Every structure is written in C-alpha cells, then in structure tokens.
Amino acid sequence: MVDLRERVEEDRGLLKRIQLHIPGFAGYRRKEDLRTADNMLRIQVANQLKEVRGQLEDARSTLTSNYQLKALEPMGAVIFKCESLEGQIRHAEQGYSGLVADIKVLEPQLNNLYMFDATILDAVDALGKEASGLQADAGGDVAKVMTHVQALQKGLSTLESNFKQRMNVITGTAVERPGTSGSTTTSSSARTSTPSSSGTGRRSRTSTGRTGTRSARSTPP
C-alpha cells in the first residue's frame, strides 16, 4: 500500500506541474472546485490547440507555395483532426455539466486525475513545438515535412485518447455520491485509468459496496 504521505507529496508535485501551465489552478480536493478546475484546464488546452492549428495552416500555405503536393493531403487530415479535437475539448462540459455538481473525486483517483492533466498539458506543448518545427521545414525537404506530419498525427491521437479517459474519471468512474441515510455510497463498478503515452491507457477494475462475496461459496466435500 502506498504511504499516505507519499501520495500527498506526489499530488502536490503534479499540482505544481499543472500550475506552471495554468496559474491559479486549485485542483479537485473540494467538490465545488471540480467544475472550475476542469473548465480552466479545458480552455487552456483548447486555446493551445487553436494556436497549433494556426501554425499548421501557415505551414500548409508554405507547402502549397512550394508545390509540396505529397504532403498536402496528410497535412489537411492533421489540421482537421486538430480542429475537431479542439472543439471536443472546449465544449466537453455540455455533455456532463449536470453530473459534475454531484461528483466528488475519491482519494485513490485524485492522483490519476492530476496525472492525466499534467500529461495532457505536456502533450499539447509538444504538439506546439512539433508544429513550429514543421513551419520551419515546410519550404524544404519533403521527408522532414512528412516526419513532422506523422509525429503530429500520433501526438493528436494520443492526446484524444488521454482526454477521453480523463473524462471517464470525472463523469463515470470512482465517484462518491450522497447516500440515502446520511452516509455516502460509492459506485459499485469503480474503474481507474492512467494516462498513456502511446494512445492506449491501462485500466483496472475493482468492485466495492457489495456485501455478498463469491469467496463464501465453498466446494462440496
């Protein structure tokens, strides 16, 4: 079992890492902070993706001017993906705003949520650097251009995957809801996810809140 002090220190480290990207980010420890913190993160990421898209549009113009026809089609797909993901992230709250008010992130999931946030912010920074490299190389060797395009495709896919898993943590996994007798109840099918650097996350499944156990069944003598 992870020592509580180690978990708290890890949470603080991740929170400071997030705050380097988003000054004023308070985290999720209080239920009333969840919507505010989530909104701050989504707006930051969406705005950065908008900037990346502007860089890509500029690079595409350079490719067109230099007749780099081989790169134009995959470049168009990358721009479309970037614009689509920007919209998903910016407007995601419309799909779960009603749930957020009733959700409290449990301690075991808090660290995972911070990990997703930090990973997503680092990823969008990396996309910006890759787009800058593409801008610089757009008028030159087509092989370099295609290397940038492929890296952007992979980076956008990984970012989308991690964002969707993060949304699952917020809206439907490991949440604590008011009970019917003054106590609280935990969802009976709680799942935790961790961010992925390759587009796929690891997910574990646990069950809580059940009084009947399968272990009580014994094999007849």
Phi/psi of residue 139, nearest 5 degrees:
-90, 5
Whole-angstrom distance, CA of residue 41 vs CA of residue 129:
19
Beta strands in the chain (DSSP E): 176-178, 184-186, 189-194, 202-207
Unique residue bearing structure tokens 């999931």 = 109
Biggest alpha carbon–alpha carbon distance for the chain? 82
pTM higher than 0.85: no
Domain ranges of the chain: 14-176
Q: What is the pLDDT of residues 88-146, one digit of tens each?
A: 999 886 555 544 555 566 666 777 888 999 999 999 999 999 999 999 999 888 999 99
Residue 34 is predicted with a pLDDT of 78
Residue 206 is predicted with a pLDDT of 39
Q: What is the pLDDT of residues 41-69, one digit of tens each?
A: 999 999 999 999 999 999 999 999 988 88
Q: How far is CA 162 from the centre of its chain?
A: 4
Residue 36 is predicted with a pLDDT of 83
Confidence grade of residue 24 (pLDDT, cut at 50, 70, 90): confident
Confidence grade of residue 176 (pLDDT, cut at 50, 70, 90): very low
Contact 12/22 with Cβ under 8 angstroms? no
DSSP code string of 94-133: GGTHHHHTT--B-HHHHHHHHHHHHHHHHHHHHHHHHHHH
Give, in degrees to the nearest 5, the angle at Cα 49 between 155 and 69.
65
